[in-house]
Amino acid sequence: MSKTLGELARLVSGEIMGDEGLVIRGVASVEEAKEGDITFAVSEKFLRIAESSKASAVVVPSGIDNFCKPVIKVENPRLAFAKILEIYAPAKPEPGGIHKTAVISDRVKIGKGVTIGPYSIIEEGSIIEDNVYLSGFVYLGREVFIGEGTFIHPRVTILDRISIGKKVIIHSGTVIGSDGFGFVRKMNGSYYKIPQIGRVVIEDNVEIGANVTIDRATTGETRIGQGTKIDNLVHIAHNVSIGSNVAIVALVGISGSCKIGSGVILAGQAGVTDHVCIGDNTVVAAKSGVTKDIPSDTFVSGFPARNHIKQKKVKAMVNRLPELVKRVQRIEKMLGDK
Amino acid sequence: MSKTLGELARLVSGEIMGDEGLVIRGVASVEEAKEGDITFAVSEKFLRIAESSKASAVVVPSGIDNFCKPVIKVENPRLAFAKILEIYAPAKPEPGGIHKTAVISDRVKIGKGVTIGPYSIIEEGSIIEDNVYLSGFVYLGREVFIGEGTFIHPRVTILDRISIGKKVIIHSGTVIGSDGFGFVRKMNGSYYKIPQIGRVVIEDNVEIGANVTIDRATTGETRIGQGTKIDNLVHIAHNVSIGSNVAIVALVGISGSCKIGSGVILAGQAGVTDHVCIGDNTVVAAKSGVTKDIPSDTFVSGFPARNHIKQKKVKAMVNRLPELVKRVQRIEKMLGDK
Amino acid sequence: MSKTLGELARLVSGEIMGDEGLVIRGVASVEEAKEGDITFAVSEKFLRIAESSKASAVVVPSGIDNFCKPVIKVENPRLAFAKILEIYAPAKPEPGGIHKTAVISDRVKIGKGVTIGPYSIIEEGSIIEDNVYLSGFVYLGREVFIGEGTFIHPRVTILDRISIGKKVIIHSGTVIGSDGFGFVRKMNGSYYKIPQIGRVVIEDNVEIGANVTIDRATTGETRIGQGTKIDNLVHIAHNVSIGSNVAIVALVGISGSCKIGSGVILAGQAGVTDHVCIGDNTVVAAKSGVTKDIPSDTFVSGFPARNHIKQKKVKAMVNRLPELVKRVQRIEKMLGDK
């Protein structure tokens, strides 16, 4: 899996300073790079660490003009690094056909180049497009649709009538299409279940982490827009609608019927109350609790979430409260007030 | 699956204004209703939206006397809507008998009308009552009890000696009976495992969401009271006791030995410290952290959780801190203090 | 499973006050103990409850000199109780060999006394050492290593090239080796996946709860140090390094590249931002959000997390804000200011 620096530079359309023929055997972060590895650095700090590291070459931003090691200069070093990682990644599993232990019901349509791993269950009427890869223990309910090139890791549940787009990646343990949490409270305090008869639609190029839960809609659909990336242990409730290219970090919870715009970032452990709209490109800080609509292009934090700058100002004042109390005491003393 | 307005009205004991013979082909929320659909509306706001929607009929509260569309008037429109949804819901899967791939150990008792899906494992000594439905990949440990009419979705783990009541619903990915998190810390800093030899008892009519974890007791039992509803990704620790008709929203964590009264609501991402009692009908707001006992019929929020009204008052003052600081500065100036 | 008080005392190297021959039939907490049971008590409060309980004997701290029931006196009653619980615990499952339904690929090495439960999948090149117990539905990817005596509960996913130490316990639903959440954002707002080609290393004697997710490193490794205990629904991101004997309580999230020292305690629902270091033996309170490095031997709380004593002081002042506002109003009045 060795490449020369020249080959890697061509791959990422980068410019070389140093020996084109240098052999690169692996790829690593600046902290763990060893001889023969290529690494990358963006900021001044990491450029210094890279220089003193054992890495044999470094991917750096175009501006850099002198560096004590061979470099590949590119506009976006992180993107170039991602592409170089692809070269050194272990081979993806070969398409394995349909394992003899897979339980496949009637009226299932299966495309070309499809892999269905051991102990998978495909219920009636499901459609699996070309080049889909289902690992072991995958459960597809009735009338599920899986788009071309989608990769589903082991132990994933996709329930009845759910639709998954093309080139989607779903990690292990995730459940898509569980019932929404909908009940009517009766006079005697008991809960009456509201049937959840809607669907979930996952658009193309979405990636969903491990042990995520996405509930089906009561009626209509829960929808995850194309290119959206969801981390582990995230909960998305019924009838939520999420735009494209949204990033949702681990342990976030989104309540029923929320509308999340495109390009939004929800940081870890944030939560959103039901029926809230969040505008495009808004950032919600970690652990925030969004309780009302948030416009586009905003950065909010705290609970209830609001403008992050204001929130920080208030927080700073809270931390100086002991001082404020002393100032008031001094004034009271001056005024002879007890 | 079409019904007339008259048939639906009889089903929910409602009163019709409009054409009894009107054919209703589907059911939808006000936002997504199309011609031929029935929807429902409770508040003034949604009644207006319903009027301008494409819905052909609307379930409304009894008080309503004029409306521009055919209506069914009922005391509880949400409950009526739930019952109408049942009519239009996709058919439940038929009992399928015991799949030939199910691995069933000795001394397992299986009632009438039981379904055991593909690739299920039932260990020694378990009892499955009549009309239980186990989907694929269900794991029942040794001496598990599953009460009549319970429905277990794919990929659920129920470990040794756990007891599940009648008409319980358990969603995919959930684990019941994992070991409680109990260790003794030794002088050298290492942890010594405390064996977790107790059980979990889930009472009748409980519904448990996807990827939930409920730990077995150290000794004795962890108990979930009848009619309680648990959302996705909730954690319930060892020896917790939960009353009846409790609602626990997603990503809540309840620590060991807590006692939660009946009718309590724990909103999303709330947490409860160990050995805390929460009285009946108390509401714990989202993201709250309960650190000490809370009486019945209380509404608490924040961390540490306390009376919600007081909490809101304090929060409002925190947000006005910049103003307070300015007022103190002005006073100091007046007094010639620096 | 009955033992005499004398037998139990010898087991825990304790000193008896009372009848050596007393037959102990079970073990229970003070609240639920019945005749024939032994219980334990450490604090004054629980010693009183134990005296008035139905327990036939009590494990107590060495200092105790008079007690109305037979006792076993030991230095560490909790540890002694854990050891007595082992006696009364239900028998562990016997090694069951390799179930005929297990799908085992080529070049898999399996040690002596190994159990592989029904419907397990072991991919190419994996190594399973002696006395490992894999329950049903366990998925081991390619080139996985499982150390001697490790116990893996049903429905666990361990992906390619992950290494698990000796005597590790992994509870149901857990996923180890899912891809880290790493993407490069492109100019058009879309995310480009950074291949995650690193590993996870779980050291000896680690216990991992149910439905936990531990991501593989981008390059290099995510590492969990020996003796560390992880509760349910915890998320550990790529390239995190955790020391030995760390306790991580339910619903905690640890972001990428964090370094957590040995002996650290992270309480429930706490979160840690990426690239943060937490020193040895530091305690992070429940629901805290750690945003920057924390030294060793510290107790932090809040968000952003800082010294718990300071945090409490500030919190107390926040709660007295209404009073402070009144004091400022009174001063303003005195000064004739509006």
Half-sphere exposure of B112 (CA within 13 A, CB side): 0
Query: Does the distance separating the beta carbons of C232 and B213 come in below 8 Å?
Result: yes
Neighbours of B296 (CB within 10 A): 14
CA distance A290 to A305: 5
Residues 6+ apart with CB under 8 A from B237: B180, B181, B215, B222, B253, B254, B255, B256, B257, B258, B274, C250
- A 16-75 residues inside an 8 A Cβ radius of B: none
| Span C174-196, average pLDDT | 97
What pLDDT band is residue A336 in, cutting at 50, 70 and 90? confident
Torsion angle of the four alpha carbons A233, A238, A239, A241, in this order, in degrees rounded to the nearest 10: 0
Query: At C337, is the pLDDT very low, low, confident or very high (cuts 50, 70, 90)?
Result: low
Contact between C205 and C227 (Cβ < 8 Å): yes
In whole angstroms, give the CA distance from residue B47 to residue A173: 41
At which residue do the structure tokens 């003034």 appear? B44
What whole-number distance in Å separates Cα of residue B132 and Cα of residue B113?
A: 7
Domain architecture of chain C: domains with CATH: 3-88 (3.40.1390.10), 103-310 (2.160.10.10)
B157/A298 Cα distance (integer angstroms): 42
C121 touches A at CB < 8 Å:
yes
Reading the block at residue A88, the tokens are: 């050194």
pLDDT band for position A234 (cuts 50, 70, 90): very high
* Residue A338, pLDDT above cutoff 60: no
Contact list, A262 vs chain C (CB under 8 Å): 189
Å between B321 CA and nearest CA of chain A: 7
Question: Residues of C101-127 as b/e, b for ≥16 C-beta within 10 angstroms?
Answer: bbbbeeebebeeebbbbbbbbbbebbb
Give the residue with greater pLDDT, C171 vs B93: C171
Whole-model pTM: value is 0.97
Contact residues, chain C, for A207 at CB < 8 Å: 179, 193
Partner-chain contact B137 A121, CB within 8 Å: yes
Average pLDDT value for residue range A160-173: 98
Q: Is the dihedral of CA C239, C240, C243, C247 positive or negative?
A: negative
- For residue C338, the model assigns a pLDDT of 46
- Look at residue C37 and tell me whether its pLDDT is greater than 70: yes
B336 in contact with C at a CB cutoff of 8 Å? no
pLDDT at C66: 86
A172 touching chain C per CB within 8 A: yes
Chain C CB within 8 Å of residue A289 CB:
no
Query: Per-residue pLDDT tens for C48-78?
Result: 999 999 999 999 999 898 899 999 999 999 9
Q: Would you say the C-alpha torsion A26, A28, A32, A36 has a positive or negative sign?
A: positive
A335 or A245, higher pLDDT:
A245
What is the pLDDT at residue A337? 52
Catalytic, C238? Answer yes
ipTM exceeds 0.90, yes or no = yes
Per-residue model confidence (pLDDT) at position C1: 74
With CB atoms and an 8 Å threshold, state whether C211 touches A207: no
Beta strands C145-146 and B213-215: pairing type? unpaired
- How large is the average pLDDT for residues A105-119? 97
Residues in chain B within 8 Å Cβ distance of A273: 286
Comparing CB atoms, the residue among B157, B237, B334 nearest residue C172 is B157
Say which of A27, A209, A269 has its CB closest to residue C271.
A269
**Which chain A residues contact residue B244 at CB under 8 A?**
189-190
In this prediction, the residues of chain B whose per-residue pLDDT falls under 50 are 338
B121 touching A, CB under 8 A?
A: no
3-state secondary structure string across A85-138: HHHHCCCCCCCCCECCCCEECCCCEECCCCEECCCCEECCCCEECCCCEECCCC
Selected residues 205-234 of chain A with any CB under 8 Å from a CB in chain B: 211-213, 215, 218-220, 233
Query: Beta A15-17 vs A71-74: how paired, if at all?
Result: antiparallel
Q: Using DSSP, state whether C225 is helix, strand or coil.
A: coil
Average pLDDT along chain A: 96
Is A271 in the C-facing interface, judged by CB distances under 8 Å? Answer: no
User: Which residue has tokens 């604090």?
Assistant: C43
The answer to whether residues C286 and C311 touch, using CB atoms and an 8 Å cutoff, is no
Over residues C20-43, the mean pLDDT reads 94
- Report how many Cβ contacts below 8 Å link chain B to chain C: 176
The length of chain B in residues reads: 338
